[in-house]
Amino acid sequence: MSWLALSLSLGFVGLAAIVSRYQELGLEKELAIAVVRTLIQLTIAGYVLSYVFASQHLIFMVLMLVLMMGVAAQNAAKRGKGIPGALRIVLIGIVVSEALSLMLLLFLGIPGTPQYIIPLSGMIIGNSMVASGVTLNRFSSEFTLRRGEVELALSLGAAPKKASLSVIKAAVKAGMIPTIDSMKTVGLVQLPGMMTGQILAGADPIQAVRYQILVMFMISGATAITSLIVVLQGYLAYFTPEAQLKSS
């Protein structure tokens, strides 16, 4: 695609701006910032990626993965406001699920080159980010809702984990459901971004589909692991070492 065609695509953004103005949504400034950020971030990403792909040094790939995980964790931790150590909790969840997924991918024979590892990791990390954000968010709202039930369980002699089990389950479930839902409608409602990109770039749709299936399966596992890790660390923040509820 030529640069000219790309600049003309700004017309679509113009449409969004008109809607915003007409409906007095006041989103024009946000929109302008978003356009500039999209342009800059993706352009930089493109150049960085082509450099990393061309380079023989795996260190660049590793650096890039570290950066991706750091940004993702930072973003998801915002959902866990009020949970002490949310950033650390989310980071551990994302790193572990990324590591496990990568091991599995390499075991399945996916080449360990940046060209494969970075886009696949992007999808794992991105989805883990969303899952851990949703999980933390749900955990804290559900905990507030069921505080009485949790304290009742403590009063009967339950350990904190047992006392918050129903909250833990609800949060993990909330973290996993978006992935499961998208697995159920994929190909019917939407074509996933990765597959669309591959097909547009001229790849064989059948080949693209195979990778997509791999990616969907991988994401379902990765998000489940992330949610579980996040919640199993997160619940501890609500209790004292003497198995008492911390005051809210």
> Residue numbers of the site for other proteins (CB under 8 A)?
148-149, 151-159, 162, 166, 240, 242-245, 247
Q: Are 113 and 55 in contact (CB under 8 A)?
A: no
In the complex, minimum distance from the CB of residue 155 to other proteins, in angstroms, rounded to a whole number = 4
- State CA 95 to chain mean position distance: 12
CA separation, residue 101 to residues 59, 126, 214, 242 (Å): 19, 13, 11, 37
Classified as helix, coil or strand, 2 is coil
Q: Which residue's CB is nearer to other proteins, number 141 or number 166?
A: 166
Q: Which residue's CB is nearer to other proteins, number 49 or number 147?
A: 147
Q: Which residue's CB is nearer to other proteins, number 115 or number 240?
A: 240
Q: Which residue's CB is nearer to other proteins, number 100 or number 158?
A: 158
Q: Which residue's CB is nearer to other proteins, number 24 or number 242?
A: 242
In the complex, minimum distance from the CB of residue 248 to other proteins, in angstroms, rounded to a whole number = 12
Query: With the C-alpha atoms ordered 100, 127, 237, 163, is the resulting torsion angle positive or negative?
Result: negative
CA 73 to CA 61: how far, in whole Å?
18
In the complex, minimum distance from the CB of residue 216 to other proteins, in angstroms, rounded to a whole number = 33
Q: Which two tokens stand for residue 117?
A: 């590892």
Q: Which two tokens stand for residue 160?
A: 């904190």
In the complex, minimum distance from the CB of residue 170 to other proteins, in angstroms, rounded to a whole number = 11
CA 225 to CA 172: how far, in whole Å?
9
How many CA atoms are closer than 13 Å to the CA of 54, on its beta-carbon side? 6
Q: Which residue's CB is nearer to other proteins, number 11 or number 148?
A: 148
Q: Are 52 and 61 in contact (CB under 8 A)?
A: yes
Q: Which residue's CB is nearer to other proteins, number 162 or number 186?
A: 162
Return the C-alpha torsion angle 230, 233, 238, 242, nearest 10.
170
CA 230 to CA 227: how far, in whole Å?
5
